Amino acid sequence: MRVLLIGSGGREHALAWKMTQSDRLEKLFVAPGNGGTQSIAENVALDVTNHAAVVDFAVRERIDLVVVGPEVPLVAGIADDLRAAGLAVFGPSKVAAQLEGSKSFTKALCDEMGIPTAAYARFDALAPALDYLDQQGAPIVIKADGLAAGKGVTVAETLEQAREAVRDCFSGTFGAAGAEVVIEECLVGEEASLFAICDGEHTVLLPAAQDHKRAFDNDKGPNTGGMGAYAPAPVMSDALIERAYREIVAPAIKGMAARGTPFSGVLFTGLMITKDGPKLIEFNTRFGDPECQVLMMMLESDLLDILEGTALGTLSGVSPRWKRGFALTVVLAANGYPGSYDKNTVIEGADAIDSDTVKIFHAGTVRNGDTLLANGGRVLNVTALGESVSEARSRAYAAVKAVDWPDGFCRSDIGWRAL
Ligand code: AMP
Ligand code: GLY
């Protein structure tokens, strides 16, 4: 198969690495890719916001499957444009990607299908939103409706914080994404993520994972894209997985199909395990980053069979096998992330780390000859397998020590909930 993978993060390096394990892979392009994908595939400097250019490239290169990693191109409708040109695509349509691209779209589907989620109200003007806050009190959660790179959510402990968050949204901090604001009940419990691959009709569940969103140890500091993850998450018992599937994932997939806009791709369900059972925090319509890194490390089966089955609507014949044990990944980020940070700092020692149990997936890296440079916020994902979470964690942190990058930092407590 000739494959084009879109994206440049740790998620895409992990997907690319797993695809290269397949005997079926003939050629892999990554657009734009990073310093890690460059070593195992061909990076192409395509502008992925230019859909016509991506379609032209895929047609010219006789691509059999296009895999879209990140949400921004999906919400912009890249899958529709590729499909219109006759290409097979792993990734949802523009309408189905609204499950991630619009919080009010998802809330409406929850109402329609009876999916348990936080009680909410939506507003497109400041005054009624502020009145509603006064009625509800704190703690309360404020969300910009659209995509805001993980920054559009405020869990407000006080009414003053809540008011400020609402004012921020309406004053344009998140651009068009904040023109509508969703205010919702603050859910209490432990968070977990469930991943379901779906071809519009058939669904295959992947192991559940847990992420660490805050920048620093003990869940302190600002929210980030994710500082580490592990899978399978012990908090998600088989019974909880079954319940979350039955009450949340399956109705969402069924509802989208019934509307004539079936969901095809990977549905990433962010859950709060409350005392009343699992409730939906949010859907994403792509793999999590860094959750994907641990899932790819755990996957025994051929990834291309799964992605292709999804794209072609033949997933009913696919049942992935998983390795025993656990995988855990530690993110190395540039000092200052998620705020401002230096670029083009030198990383040494990373290329020497590669074994059956430990891999480094790159995110914000670039190669300059033999030198590896950091050029992003999240930079490396040091990922390990183990019989237990603690063995995977020890292996990952031993490898972290072997990376020489004075300009980076990581959390030292990834996996704490599972230990
Ligand atoms: P998001 O950027 O949408 O993933 O949200 C960021 C984080 O905000 C989530 O991982 C949760 O920790 C938190 N969050 C979002 N919605 C709620 C809610 N209704 N109740 C409590 N926490 C929430
Ligand atoms: N790690 C969380 C996300 O990908 O949204």
Say if CB 113 and CB 88 are below 8 A apart. no
Which pLDDT band, with edges at 50, 70 and 90, does 172 fall under?
confident
- Look at the block and give the residue holding tokens 């969402």: 252
122-131, 166-175, 308-317, 363-372 — which is least confidently predicted? Answer: 166-175
Whether 337 shows a pLDDT value over 80: the answer reads yes
Whether 45 shows a pLDDT value over 90: the answer reads yes
Instruction: Give the CA-trace dihedral at 262, 263, 269, 274, to 10 degrees.
Output: 0
- The three-state secondary structure class of 102 is coil
| Ligand 2 atom, smallest distance to 226 CA | 1
**How far is the C-alpha of 412 from the C-alpha of 149, rounded, in Å?**
24
| Ligand 1 atom, smallest distance to 103 CA | 3
Compute, in angstroms, the gap from residue 281 CA to the centroid of ligand 1.
Answer: 6
Q: Which of 227, 268, 296 to mutate to test the pocket of ligand 2 (most atoms within 8 A of CB)?
A: 268
**How far is the C-alpha of 75 from the C-alpha of 99, rounded, in Å?**
9
Q: Which residue has the higher pLDDT, 328 or 147?
A: 328
Residues 242-257 have a mean pLDDT of 97
Residue 270's contacts (CB-CB under 8 Å, 6 or more residues apart) are 191, 193, 280, 281, 282, 283, 284
Task: Name the token pair of 15.
Answer: 């997907």
180-194, 279-293, 319-333 — which is least confidently predicted? Answer: 180-194
Q: Which residue has the higher pLDDT, 177 or 249?
A: 249
Provide the percentage of residues in the chain whose pLDDT is more than 70. 98
Return the pLDDT at 150.
61
Residues 105-112 have a mean pLDDT of 95
Return the pLDDT at 379.
98
Return the pLDDT at 351.
95
Which pLDDT band, with edges at 50, 70 and 90, does 344 fall under?
very high
Q: Which of 15, 284, 286, 287 to mutate to test the pocket of ligand 2 (most atoms within 8 A of CB)?
A: 284
Residue from 375, 382, 377, 282 nearest 13 by CA: 382
SS (H, E, C) 367-416: EECCEEEECCCEEEEEEEEECCHHHHHHHHHHHHHHCECCCEECCCCCCH
Return the pLDDT at 144.
85
